[in-house]
Amino acid sequence: MTTSSSERGISLGMPELPAPAYPDDVRARLEADARDVIARYPDSRSALLPLLHLVQSEEGHVTRTGMQFCADMLELTTAEVTAVATFYTMYRRRPSGDYQVGVCTNTLCAVMGGDAIFETLQEHLGVGNGGTTDDGKVTLEHIECNAACDFAPVVMVNWEFFDNQTPASATRLVDDLRAGRDVEPTRGARLCTFKETARILAGFPDERPGAVEESGSAGPASLVGLRLAKGETAPARVVHPRAQGSQDAPSAEEGE
Amino acid sequence: MTVVPDLKDTSPEKLLAPVLSAFWDEDRSWMLDVYRRHEGYEGLRKALAMSPDDLIAYVKESGLRGRGGAGFPTGMKWQFIPQGDGKPHYLVVNADESEPGTCKDIPLLFANPHSLIEGIVIACYAIRSSHAFIYLRGEVVPVLRRLHEAVREAYAAGYLGENILGSGLDLTLTVHAGAGAYICGEETALLDSLEGRRGQPRLRPPFPAVEGLYACPTVVNNVESIASVPAILQKGKEWFRAMGSEKSPGFTLYSLSGHVASPGQYEAPLGITLRQLLDMSGGMRSGHRLKFWTPGGSSTPMFTDEHLDVPLDYEGVGAAGSMLGTKALQCFDETTCVVRAVTRWTEFYAHESCGKCTPCREGTYWLVQLLRDIEAGKGVMSDLDKLNDIADNINGKSFCALGDGAASPIFSSLKYFREEYEQHITGRGCPFDPAKSTAWADRPEVNA
């Protein structure tokens, strides 16, 4: 009867005991942060999503203690907080790894190789969707479209972009993460842990020197149109598949 | 920049019109001093010299239409805000870019966040708002980092805060990160989410312009719409109207992705065609041909190679039976199984359905069951009519546009590729090899 019903996924008909509170020092620190967040909004309840990110930055996932804390700060019931915490996919509901590796398997990335990457990583890491490696380093999951289709297939690590991945590059990536080697996103800053990422999401700017400017102004795909417009790249010549022995008419016929 | 592109000319210099993307290739393009070097915050000065009502009229006359999908005139949205009502007014920027295939606002905010911030100040002056929000999807931390910094810079320079540029305008701007939910791109669900609730759409009326955030008059605009405003002020509405067509004037970001030689962002006057974009950028990947594509994300009915010459503006795409949407041109070649593509999109809609209304919640679930069976070779012919029927029961009968979006790929794929569905049924399985569709399929050096 000591196992919480939410962990077991079934109701035993026994109400749960209230969640234990944060230790006093943690609570005092989080309260100061929470007041900062609440002050940004005309109505305190608007602070709920950032506060859930904040408690996730403390424990790596949203615990009952964290939800109780949010409820206290915003004068809501824990039921109201739970209803919100369970609606959004970025809130984790159980302990997970330092690095969340998300493989986009929405249609375009899936077709371009996301499915193959996700399969390879599941096999390589020996975990399924949402699973965490034994060393607690990597949590693998498939994610939905992350607004980077021109860089497909895309992998996100702690919500930084790793563009144009292959099964081999993604395997190297998770090996490096587990071995503690530095990895660089193609767009974004050098990785911080999942908890540190959650703090940025709560609205506290990344204080690491240089983090904002890392990886340059724009990714290469973001610039292809601009380069063409400036005449820096010669207009590409359409290679007609017909000339290469394909049967069908090309997508682009003789221009104009 | 004042050259009016001639759509008969095929050179990219003539066909493209980089405005928002014009200096993304410069070092630290996202910083205030670089933005200022490119006439940044000059549009704001011109706006502040006008009366708010004149400003709204000016944006209306420019013909700018919403870039988030629906194409509603931006100036008209601003005009709907009741003035003198004694209530606070809010501007909420929808930066929840999550529509499958859509990838324009994220690179825009990464490389040029100040264009949005300047647009926000202008819009707030117009609608008489002193608090604006950017609702950014949470899964893009690199963009969040730059928005935090850009907002800090704008405050420090006096473009945000009190008495902006001596105009008497006070403005607070809050950057708010979401937490993962496609539905929050729907404007009323976004407002509920911003109020700290589950992101579920609201019944309309009342519309957000009357009762939006905290039941106060609220304008919800897409990132690209607001970011386009400073250039209109700076260069003039005539300049803007010289691009595109009478009903779809101006420039916009087209995002080319999939099996093309050069995926990426192409900023051009509205009305360019996919053929023109492919011609200038190397076409489909070598040795392959276009099979199907979306004009504006997965929720817009798909097109085929018959539609290469459709002008990509609101009217042109509408007349051809789809919607301009977000101008997310996802191109798939002949190696791609359309049933697989539609199944995956439908799984997405089922996953993202908020559960509020029955047609969408139940309908998307059953569509997935049928599609998975068909893809696995376990379908029967009557399933195809059933798919159509269920989609018909979702489309137009759901609480919000997510349901309509879920129906689009079903209807359009059955219209153009019914034979392919039948092949899956008669052949008891999928005739395609997914390995041939991958980005590395034609590159032997990449081991899969």
Q: What is the distance between the alpha carbons of residues B230 and B125, in angstroms, rounded to a whole number?
A: 13
User: What DSSP designation does B203 have?
Assistant: P
Residue B446 with chain A: CB contacts under 8 Å:
166, 168
Q: Provide the residue-wise pLDDT of chain A in tens; the chain has 256 residues.
A: 344 445 556 667 787 788 999 999 999 999 999 999 999 999 999 999 999 999 999 999 999 999 999 999 999 999 999 999 999 999 999 999 999 999 999 999 999 999 999 999 999 999 999 999 999 999 999 999 999 999 999 999 999 999 999 999 999 999 999 999 999 999 999 999 999 999 999 999 999 999 999 999 999 999 999 999 999 986 665 544 443 433 333 333 333 3
Between A48, A108, A116, which is nearest B101 by CB? A108
Amino acid (1-letter code) at residue B174: T
Written as six digits, the tokens of B60 are 């209306």
Angle between helices A78-85 and A48-59 (to 10 degrees): 80
Could you tell me which residue, A154 or B69, shows the higher pLDDT? Answer: A154
**What pLDDT, on the 0 to 100 scale, is given for residue A13?**
79
Tell me which residues of chain A, numbers 78 to 97, contact chain B at a CB-CB cutoff of 8 Å: 83-84, 87-91
pTM of the model: 0.94
Minimal Cα–Cα distance from A169 to chain B, Å?
10
Contact B49, B58 (CB under 8 A): no
Q: What is the distance between the alpha carbons of residues A56 and A204, in angstroms, rounded to a whole number?
A: 13
**What pLDDT, on the 0 to 100 scale, is given for residue B202?**
97
| Tokens 């707030």 found at | B124
Residue A247 class from Cβ within 10 Å (0-12 exposed, 13-18 middle, 19+ buried)?
A: exposed
User: Is the four-CA dihedral A87, A93, A98, A102 of positive or negative sign?
Assistant: negative
B244 DSSP β-pair partners:
B249
Closest to A155 (Cα-Cα) out of A207, A192, A120: A120
Asked whether residue B7 carries a pLDDT value surpassing 50, the answer given is: no
Lowest-confidence region among A7-16, B215-224, B346-355? A7-16
Q: What is the distance between the alpha carbons of residues B379 and B356, in angstroms, rounded to a whole number?
A: 29
CB pair distance less than 8 Å for B102 and A252: no
Asked if A26 has any chain B CB less than 8 Å from its own CB, the reply is no
**What separation in angstroms does the CA of A61 have from each of A30, A215, B44, B157?**
15, 28, 43, 38
Q: What is the distance between the alpha carbons of residues B143 and B212, in angstroms, rounded to a whole number?
A: 26
| Tokens 């002193």 found at | B130
Minimal Cα–Cα distance from A58 to chain B, Å?
16
User: What DSSP designation does A103 have?
Assistant: E
- Characterize the bridge pairing of strands A155-157 and A160-162: antiparallel
**What pLDDT, on the 0 to 100 scale, is given for residue B433?**
97
Closest to B33 (Cα-Cα) out of B154, B119, B134, B142: B154
| Tokens 């950028």 found at | B281
Q: What is the distance between the alpha carbons of residues A55 and A22, in angstroms, rounded to a whole number?
A: 10
Task: Give the containing element (helix H, strand E) for A225.
Answer: helix A224-229
A99 DSSP β-pair partners:
A138
Average pLDDT over residues B164-193: 97
**What pLDDT, on the 0 to 100 scale, is given for residue B9?**
63
Closest to B30 (Cα-Cα) out of B141, B150, B139, B136: B150
**What pLDDT, on the 0 to 100 scale, is given for residue A238?**
54
**What pLDDT, on the 0 to 100 scale, is given for residue A236?**
60
